[in-house]
Amino acid sequence: MNETVVVLGGGVIGLSCAFELRQRGYRVKLLEKERCGGQASGAAAGMLAPYSENGESPDAFFRFCRESLQIFPEWQRTVRYVSGLPFEYTESGSLYAVYHEADRLALETRLGWQRRNGSSGRIVEGEELFRLEPRLSRNVRAALYTPEESHVYAPHYVRSLERACRLIGVDIQDRLEEAAVVRWEREIAVEARDGRAFGGDRLLVCTGAWAQELADALGIPIPIQPIRGQICAYEAEDRPVRHMVFNSQGYLVGKGNGTLVCGASEDVAGFDTSVTERGIERLRAWNKRLFPFLEGRTPFHRWAGLRPATQDGLPLIGPHGRVVFAAGHYRNGILLSPATAKLAADWIENGEAPADYEAFLPSRFEGERSLSAR
């Protein structure tokens, strides 16, 4: 295989796709405007939680998330082995906590379809709940316990991915400041700020919240908006939180480095990645209700990232001529990195994908253009 794929974007999706494509024998050039993992990927809390993140129904997106969770253990072993760089991967299980008797109906409905879809979860309450999570507020009425969910330490996972890519021969060009697509219909040509041009046979767009910038150049609507997610972390050497704990407001997850991460406070702020007092106060307004020991504690670290949110909540994964998209993963980029890498590589290698995942085709937003042409 001598085809060259130019991958745009060095976040978790671009790196994972490059890693997969290189293993399948492609020559891969990865272009990054700043540095790899410098945006949403490095800011993520790294939760691999398809059951907690999808409360409604087992739709195509859920199935994609679940598939990714299933292949994650082997995928992360490969990344770890190839890179030689360890990162935290913890099979902690999760709790989705509720406060009202009226939440039970929704929990039971959710548990019903999730148990038919790979979860061995159950509703826990009272003594059992507080044995699982001793410092949880006694105001928590019940929780949906899902043993299958896990988490990674995202900044280290992305760093290992980058190293693994370099070691197997992915040509990573970073700090390009600009990566303008100048040709894509017959061959690929991308130009950096300093005038260097990068050519190839196929283009894989993995630029997350910035993907929309390519809409004009590629002649396709790309309805992806940045949603700012603000996160904070507490020092918690004594590991006071054992599981990933979710509620309707957000989540808390204890990391192996002795920090307790609390996220995420979402807002619409364009491409602004600054942290606001209000954003962090929002997290502090609910997290003490979940874990009373947080009352009065101050987070030692605060940060923000831009989540690439699509108009219908589904990612854009699939072809557009010589171009393939893998963007718009919103809250689930870390979780979806292995399944996306395989799906995008399948599109490039075979030109097809499972029918179920046609829901993610970028062409679904082209309706307006084709209608007005009639």
Partner 1 sequence: MKTDVLRIGGRELQSRFFLGTGLFPNPYVQQEAIRASGAEVLTFAIRRINLEAPEDDSILQYLEPGAFHFLPNTSGARTADEAVRIARLARASNLSDWVKVEISANERTLLPDPVETLRATEILVKEGFTVLPYTSDDPILCKRLEEAGAAAVMPGAAPIGTGLGLLNPYNLGLIVEEANVPVIVDAGLGSAADALQAMELGAAGVLMNNPVAKAKDPARMAQAMRLAIEAGRLSYLAGRVPKKRYASASSAPEGHLLP
Cβ pair 110, 123 in contact under 8 A: no
Nearer to partner 1, 30 or 142 (CB): 142
| The residue type at 68 | S
Integer Cα distance of 298 and 89 in angstroms: 26
* Beta-carbon contacts of residue 77 (< 8 Å; ≥ 6 apart): none
Nearer to partner 1, 254 or 315 (CB): 315
* Residues 196-225 within binding reach of partner 1 (CB under 8 A): 225
Binding test (CB under 8 A) with partner 1, winner from 35, 100, 175, 239: 100
Cβ pair 248, 228 in contact under 8 A: no
Residue 113 touches partner 1, criterion: CB under 8 A: no
Residue with tokens 């949403």: 40
Distance of closest approach, residue 286 Cβ to partner 1, in angstroms: 5
Cβ pair 65, 336 in contact under 8 A: yes
Distance of closest approach, residue 245 Cβ to partner 1, in angstroms: 15
DSSP state of 225: E
> Token pair of 30, please?
């990865």
Binding test (CB under 8 A) with partner 1, winner from 23, 78, 117, 286: 286
Nearer to partner 1, 27 or 104 (CB): 104
Residue with tokens 């061995």: 120
> Token pair of 11, please?
């976040």
* Beta-carbon contacts of residue 131 (< 8 Å; ≥ 6 apart): none
Nearer to partner 1, 101 or 127 (CB): 101
Residue 295 touches partner 1, criterion: CB under 8 A: no
Residue 178 touches partner 1, criterion: CB under 8 A: no
* Residues 4-63 within binding reach of partner 1 (CB under 8 A): 56
Reported as type and span, the H/E element at residue 50 is helix 50-53
Q: Binding marks (x or -) toward partner 1, 222..261, rule CB under 8 A?
A: ---x-x--------------------xxx-----------
> Edge-to-edge strands of the sheet including 259-267?
122-124, 142-146, 94-98, 244-247, 250-254, 259-267, 224-235, 301-310
Distance of closest approach, residue 364 Cβ to partner 1, in angstroms: 7
Residues touching partner 1, count (CB under 8 A): 36
Cβ pair 275, 299 in contact under 8 A: no
3-state secondary structure of 353: coil
Integer Cα distance of 56 and 313 in angstroms: 13
Distance of closest approach, residue 247 Cβ to partner 1, in angstroms: 9
Nearer to partner 1, 21 or 140 (CB): 140
Exposure on the CB side of residue 308, measured as CA atoms within 13 A: 29
Residue 105 touches partner 1, criterion: CB under 8 A: yes
Residue 313 touches partner 1, criterion: CB under 8 A: yes
Residue 130 touches partner 1, criterion: CB under 8 A: no
Residue 115 touches partner 1, criterion: CB under 8 A: no
Residue with tokens 């409905």: 109
Cβ pair 341, 16 in contact under 8 A: yes
Residue 282 touches partner 1, criterion: CB under 8 A: yes
3-state secondary structure of 94: strand
Cβ pair 317, 326 in contact under 8 A: yes
Distance of closest approach, residue 203 Cβ to partner 1, in angstroms: 25
- Give the interface segment with partner 1, choosing from 76-84, 121-129, 191-199, 262-270 (CB under 8 A): 262-270
Residue 293 touches partner 1, criterion: CB under 8 A: no
- Give the interface segment with partner 1, choosing from 38-46, 74-82, 302-310, 339-347 (CB under 8 A): 302-310
Residue 139 touches partner 1, criterion: CB under 8 A: no
* Residues 318-347 within binding reach of partner 1 (CB under 8 A): 330
Residue 108 touches partner 1, criterion: CB under 8 A: yes
**Residue ranges binding partner 1 (CB under 8 A):** 56, 98-106, 108-109, 112, 225, 227, 248-250, 266-268, 278, 281-282, 285-286, 289, 307, 309-313, 330, 364-365
